[in-house]
Amino acid sequence: MLGAAEPGAVERAAAIIRGGGLAAFPTETVYGVGADGFDAAAVARLYRAKGRAPDKPIILHLTGMEMLAEVARDVPPIAHALAGAFWPGPLTLVLPRGRHVPDIVAAGGDTVAARCPAHPVALALIGAVGRAVAATSANRSGGLSPTRAEEVLEELGGAIDVILDGGPTGVGVESTIVDLTVTPPEVLRLGGVPVEQLREHLPDLVVRPSPAAGVRGGRLVLVEGEPERVAAEIRRRARELAARGLRVGVLATAETLPLYDELGAGVVRQVLGSRRDPEGAGRALFGVLRALERLGLDVILAEGLPQVGLGAAVTDRLRRAAREVVVAG
């Protein structure tokens, strides 16, 4: 682990990537682990280090729009408009794959995903490598994205060559992914750039809600809806589960926390943040989920956030982690 601000640290990490190795680094969203985007053998090491399924492509990280021509072809004007508006920043664009992009980066497909991260360490690193860096969230496949260097060490310690520690990340949820190769364009992952902002450029943008994916041991149940009803449903379920001897956790917001007072000390309560501050909830999300995971609970009953701004991305992460999504009514 190297402090990103130490003299020569970024250059050392860049030399490792240029030599075919793997380096983890902070972005504005979550920590990534990267390899030379044009070195198929290095990208294969990246898949092995994460235990990533070979059919899941990887995002190429760029220093800016000027690198798009290296990785994509037939770049439409809207891509330049979006990059102009949101780069550097948490927006990933899916475009027709450039001729020199190795198969493995695109998982054999005809498209490529590219983004320019808004983090000085990430930008300095990609700049020092001098070409696109293929990078993915620095967790073992299926795990939570790390927002701190220590979590990267826990997740991938022995499997990668260096970690640049740049402190905690700012956004906390991953980049928004927009597929520009389909008509109308479609959001493939909700993330750091809210859909409302993208719609100013792409009025016909399609967003489909993620289904409950049932990962993470199937412990999470997400309850969405009007806050009072959500709390009533969570209280009902918590009492029932606790009565069966199960260890129950409730993931609430600052505003709704008092609604769970009557559950007593046997039910663990955690606050994700304020309903009025979805950005704060985004920053806290993965850390809070990690903390809950460590408690070894049998069931986590989580509230959804209001579906505006970053609240939609935070709720979407919970949906994808949930084994069941309930609408309280």
Binding residues for Mg ion, rule: CB under 5 A, are: 137
Residue-level length of the chain = 329
3-state SS class at 239: helix
- From the list 158, 221, 160, 118, the residue with the least C-alpha distance to 13 is 160
Among 10, 13, 32, 156, binds ligand TXA (CB under 6 A): 32
Shortest distance (Å) from residue 47 CB to Mg ion: 12
Q: How many angstroms separate the CA atoms of 100 and 109, rounded?
A: 13
> Which is closer to ligand TXA, CB of 26 or CB of 311?
26
Does position 62 bind ligand TXA by CB under 6 A?
no
Contacts of 128 (CB under 8 A, 6+ apart): 10, 11, 13, 14
Tokens of residue 252, six digits: 């609430």
Strand order, beta sheet including 248-252: 268-271, 248-252, 299-303, 220-224, 324-327
- From the list 54, 292, 82, 285, the residue with the least C-alpha distance to 176 is 82
Given Mg ion, ligand TXA, none, residue 236, with its beta carbon under 5 to 8 Å by kind, binds: none
| Tally of helices (H runs) and strands (E runs) in the chain | 10, 16
> Which is closer to Mg ion, CB of 27 or CB of 137?
137
Does position 137 bind ligand TXA by CB under 6 A?
yes
- From the list 155, 131, 184, the residue with the least C-alpha distance to 32 is 155
> Which is closer to ligand TXA, CB of 110 or CB of 204?
110
3-state SS class at 290: helix
Given ligand TXA, Mg ion, none, residue 207, with its beta carbon under 5 to 8 Å by kind, binds: none
To the nearest 10 degrees (0 to 180), the angle between helices 120-129 and 9-18 is 50
CA angle 255, 256, 257 (to 5 degrees): 100
Among 4, 10, 22, 27, binds ligand TXA (CB under 6 A): 27
Q: Which stretch binds ligand TXA (CB under 6 A): 72-80, 110-118, 154-162, 195-203?
A: 110-118
Given ligand TXA, Mg ion, none, residue 175, with its beta carbon under 5 to 8 Å by kind, binds: ligand TXA
Could you identify the residue written with the tokens 């001729």? 99
C-alpha torsion sign, points 22, 23, 29, 30: positive
> Which is closer to ligand TXA, CB of 137 or CB of 315?
137
> Which is closer to ligand TXA, CB of 128 or CB of 254?
128
CA neighbours within 13 Å on the CB side: how many for 98? 16
Shortest distance (Å) from residue 322 CB to ligand TXA: 17
Q: How far is CA 103 from the centre of its chain?
A: 23
The 164-203 contact track toward ligand TXA, x by CB under 6 A, reads ----------xx-x----------xx--------------
> Which is closer to ligand TXA, CB of 67 or CB of 259?
67
Nearest residue (beta carbon) to ligand TXA: 32
CB-based contact 134:61 (threshold 8 Å): yes
> Which is closer to Mg ion, CB of 137 or CB of 253?
137
Q: Which stretch binds ligand TXA (CB under 6 A): 56-64, 200-208, 219-227, 249-257?
A: 56-64
Q: Which stretch binds ligand TXA (CB under 6 A): 130-138, 149-157, 215-223, 224-232?
A: 130-138
Shortest distance (Å) from residue 125 CB to ligand TXA: 12
> Which is closer to Mg ion, CB of 62 or CB of 173?
173
Does position 101 bind ligand TXA by CB under 6 A?
no
Shortest distance (Å) from residue 142 CB to Mg ion: 9
Q: Which residues contact ligand TXA (rule: CB under 6 A)? A: 27, 29-30, 32, 56-59, 90, 92, 94, 106, 109, 111-113, 117, 135-137, 174-175, 177, 188-189
